Amino acid sequence: MRCSPEHLSDMLYMTGRLSRPEDMRNKDGFTLIELLIVVAIIGILAAIAVPGLLRARMAGNEASAIGSMRAVNSAEVTYASTCGGDGYAQDLADLSTPPASGGDAFIGPDLNANGVQKSGYLIALAAGANSVAVRTSANTCNGTNSFSTYHATATPATLGQSGTRAFATNNSGAIVQNFTGVAIAVNMAGTQILQ
């Protein structure tokens, strides 16, 4: 069967023009190379941003630990002047016990027991250097013993991740720090005054 020129034009009209390789490329999407470049850029930005975010998180945790030390100091001063007969509590549980006659506890519920973790730091309260009993539980307003000194510490729960510094305070009211992250001893050796 022979094709006449009329039939040839009809066949081209029905099938359409054959695409060349450069016309077959879909111009509405992205190529694999373009997508890989975008993924590489996102990876580079993430590698730059993540360490900064971790440092900011640690700085926030450390600021919270300093705030906890200030809260302990404030609670101890209130306890000593209103309940302990000028003596201090030796445990966070003692400060979280309200007076028997009614009223609020001396410290907030977020610091209600020794070893409590708050914002990546472990908070504890203990007897200070050369501490002696001031009042027995029968003579304080909340049934706890009071002593002449106290020592509070805040240490990172995970050193290097939740914080890099350790903090402490005592009945002097000064907050000290060390840069090792190790719990600060009662004698405050190897520390710098923070405030």
Residue 116 falls inside a structural domain:
yes
* Residue-number span of the structural domain to which 129 is assigned: 39-193
Residue 22 falls inside a structural domain:
no
Residue 75 falls inside a structural domain:
yes
Higher model confidence: residue 103 or residue 21? 103
Q: Going by DSSP bridges, is the β-strand pair 121-127/116-118 parallel, antiparallel, or unpaired?
A: antiparallel
Measured at the alpha carbon of residue 157, what is the angle toward residues 175 and 167, in degrees to the nearest 5? Answer: 10
Residue 29 falls inside a structural domain:
no
pTM: 0.77
Residue 106 falls inside a structural domain:
yes
Residue 20 falls inside a structural domain:
no
pLDDT at 185 over 70: yes
Q: What is the mean pLDDT of residues 172-182?
A: 96
Residue 1 falls inside a structural domain:
no
Residue 65 falls inside a structural domain:
yes
Q: What is the pLDDT of residue 28?
A: 74
User: If you search the block for the tokens 């730091």, which residue do you land on?
Assistant: 121
Number of independent structural domains in the chain: 1
In tens, the pLDDT along 33-86 reads 999 999 999 999 999 999 899 999 999 999 999 999 999 999 999 999 999 999
Q: What is the pLDDT of residue 117?
A: 97
What SS3 class is residue 160? coil
